[in-house]
Structure formats: C-alpha cells, structure tokens
Amino acid sequence: MKRAVFFTQFLSVTVFVGSNLAYLAHPDNQGVQQPDASGAVQMVQLYLHPASIMLWALLLILWALLVLDTIGQWQDPSEPEGRSQDLRQLVWPGFSAALVLHALWPWLAQPAPWLAALTGLVAAALAYHATRCATDQNRPAIGFVAGWSLVIATALLASALAGSLEMAPAQASILGILVASGAGMTAQLQLGRQVAFSIAVISGFCAIAVTTMIHDPVTAIACILGITAMTAVLIRAAS
C-alpha cells in the first residue's frame, strides 16, 4: 500500500512538472501576454509566462518542494497504515488529484477560460483538503501547494470574469488579489500552524508586485495590501 501511494504521488508530480515544462517550451505559448493601453497584464498571464526572477523562483521552489516531498515519502511514508482508512482522511488522494488538475489548466486558459477557472478552483479545494488532512505530518510542500493553488484559482476566476464582463486587466488582477487575500486569511485561521500555506500566498503576491511595480503600479499596490493582510494572519498563526 505504501509503495502504491508513493507511485501515485510520483506520477502526479511527474505529470505536473512535465506539463509545466511542455507548456513553457511550446512555441505557441511563448510571449502570449497582451498588455492593455496602460501596460497592464492579467495576473494569470504572469503565472503562465514568468517574466521576472521572482516568478521563476516561485515556480522553481514549488517544483523543488514537490520533488523533496516525493523523495521523503519514499524514504519515510507518512500516511497511516491499514486498508480500512477512509480516503477522505488521507492526504495523497486530494493532493495527487490537485496536481493532475494543475497540469491541465494552463492548456485551457486561452481557449476555455471558464473551464480553466473551474479546474483551478477544484484543484485549490482538493489541495486545501489535503492540507487539512496533513495537520499531523511535517510536509510543508502540501501547504505550499495549497496556497499557490489559491492564488492561481482566483487569478483564473478573475481572468474568466474579465473576459465575460470586459473588465480591464488591472481590474481583474485586483479582483483576484482581493478574493485570494480574503480566502487566504480565512483558510490560514483554520489551518493553524501550517504556515506554508500563507508563505505560498505571500510569495505569489510578492512575485506579482515585483513584476508589475513599474508598468502596473495599481496591481502592485493591491499585492502589497494582500501581503500585509496575509502577514498579519501568518504571525497570528505562528504565535
């Protein structure tokens, strides 16, 4: 059973990272960002096409944490033994499913933004549930993926709304940041000392703030406000 759980996670991590690399390397997906007249770009486009060292660092940290967590599960599995375990109380089903869904949404963001948003929201819910199940396990990668999932899901939702309501990219980004901040604060209060969740959200906001500081200061300021709110909750959770 332990090896089956490991290989399930190994496969999902491989699919996720492989899909990321394939998307970034695909010639049709390079340089797709379309700034508006003010120079603003939708936030989800910045995650799809990293344009700064901070965004690349966030992606590389995510990949590294996933690889390290997978290696750790091979050496010292943390899931409880027994075939009678309720799958809803285990980490690996939701975590692995979330990674597979995250492998799909980049390919859907352009042709089907609402389907991409739905995929991202389901992935975020699954990752959050996995984090709740991992409260007694020392696995920061789970919480980090959940926090990153929240930022991605809200960015995808804001992008889909922007396309339907003809909102400006800056307005869509601010909407995504506000929703992510509110949901992130609520989630962290429920997660307690699992601070990797907030660290991921704050890192996502920092990467966007640094990237948009010059050409889209409004989005950058919204990110800074989100960072402030999440930091306050992080300090409370860690104390």
pLDDT value of position 47: 87
pLDDT value of position 32: 47
Q: Tell whether 167 is covered by a domain.
A: yes
Q: How far apart are CA 193 and CA 171, in angstroms?
A: 33
Q: How far apart are CA 128 and CA 124, in angstroms?
A: 6
pLDDT value of position 44: 83
List, as one string, the DSSP characters of 132-156: HHTTTS--HHHHHHHHHHHHHHHHH
Number of independent structural domains in the chain: 1
List, as one string, the DSSP characters of 185-223: HHHHHHHTT-THHHHHHHHHHHHHHHHHTTT-HHHHHHH
Q: Retrieve residue 160's tokens.
A: 């889909």
Q: Tell whether 34 is covered by a domain.
A: no
Q: How far apart are CA 81 and CA 74, in angstroms?
A: 15
> Which domain covers residue 98, as residue numbers?
2-28+39-238
Q: Tell whether 212 is covered by a domain.
A: yes
- Residue by residue, pLDDT tens for the chain (239 residues) are 677 788 999 999 999 999 999 999 887 765 545 444 444 456 888 888 887 899 999 999 999 999 999 999 888 777 665 544 666 678 989 999 999 999 999 999 989 999 999 999 999 999 999 999 988 888 999 999 999 999 999 999 998 998 888 888 788 888 999 999 999 999 999 998 889 999 999 999 999 999 888 888 888 999 999 999 999 999 998 87
Q: Tell whether 33 is covered by a domain.
A: no
Q: Tell whether 99 is covered by a domain.
A: yes
